[in-house]
Amino acid sequence: MQIPEGVVGQTIYAVRRRAKYVLIELDTGCLILHLGMSGHISIVNQGESIGVHDHVDFVLDHGLIFRLTDPRRFGSLHWQPHPAESHWLLADLGVEPLSDAFSAAYLIDQCRGRKVAIKNRIMDAKVVVGVGNIYANEALFRAGIRPRRAAGRVRRDLIARLVDAIKETLERAIDKGGTTINDFAATDGKPGYFSQELSVYGRAGEPCLVCSSNLKEIRLGGRSTVYCPSCQA
């Protein structure tokens, strides 16, 4: 976390997003912020007591404080002179999942000849960003694809379905305010309600909502992976 003294006094003129990074544009460069698993931003009054997990305060000129809190410290904060996209964290990122660039043709091309599991492929930020473990599980269920199947051996029509499933899953989750598992909260401090709509994640051993088969759990890339052995080929 190397933030130069020079940011003091600069104007915030835009706040953008790329992948899971928040980009705060200042005069000469950009603050690149990742909230990790458990981080959040809050705007508090000056004099507000500092909690054990509060790590950074930016004092704004109207007296309010832009505060970064991150209990598990998986987040990060970086500085990059313009343009932000030249930062090494952003330079090699894949396409945005809700953009037109994330198409069936694109993902088919990205999977061609790959032996890595399809789940790992769609979670690879060099391919497509924003697909975390929960949404990867859900999207693969929606598309009817077994998570461990080699990316290069998934039928083209199923990959096309997967692209749609990823978009639908993410859009639905955003609509519901995100997915609260333990302590996640949206920008307004409220929990996200997509967790109530999870079909497979966190439901290992329970019946599939479609066919009632027992949902199976495996580990892929060190992450919990749940699927229906009957619905997902």
Partner DNA sequence: ATAGTCACCTGAGCGC
Partner DNA sequence: TGCGCTCAGGTGACTA
Q: How far is the CB of 152 from DNA (least distance, A)?
A: 7
CB 139 within 8 A of CB 169: yes
CB 136 within 8 A of CB 128: no
User: Quick one: which of 164, 171, 183, 206 contacts DNA (CB under 7 A)?
Assistant: 183
By CB under 7 A, tell whether 19 contacts DNA: yes
d(CA 208, CA 206): 7
Q: HSE (CB half, 13 Å, CA atoms) of 231? A: 22
By CB under 7 A, tell whether 120 contacts DNA: yes
Strand partners, 227: 216
User: Quick one: which of 7, 114, 193, 218 contacts DNA (CB under 7 A)?
Assistant: 114
Indicate the residue among 64 and 150 with the shorter CB distance to DNA.
Answer: 150
- What region, left, alpha or beta, does residue 110 occupy, with left being phi > 0 and alpha being psi -120 to 50 degrees? alpha
Q: HSE (CB half, 13 Å, CA atoms) of 148? A: 13
User: Quick one: which of 74, 83, 175, 197 contacts DNA (CB under 7 A)?
Assistant: 74
By CB under 7 A, tell whether 73 contacts DNA: yes
By CB under 7 A, tell whether 117 contacts DNA: yes
State the number of binding residues for DNA (CB under 7 A): 34
Of 201, 155, 164, 194, the C-alpha closest to 177 is 194
By CB under 7 A, tell whether 80 contacts DNA: no
Q: Which residues bind DNA (CB under 7 A)?
A: 19-21, 34, 36-38, 52-53, 71-74, 89, 114-117, 120, 123, 125, 129, 132-134, 151, 181-183, 201, 221-224
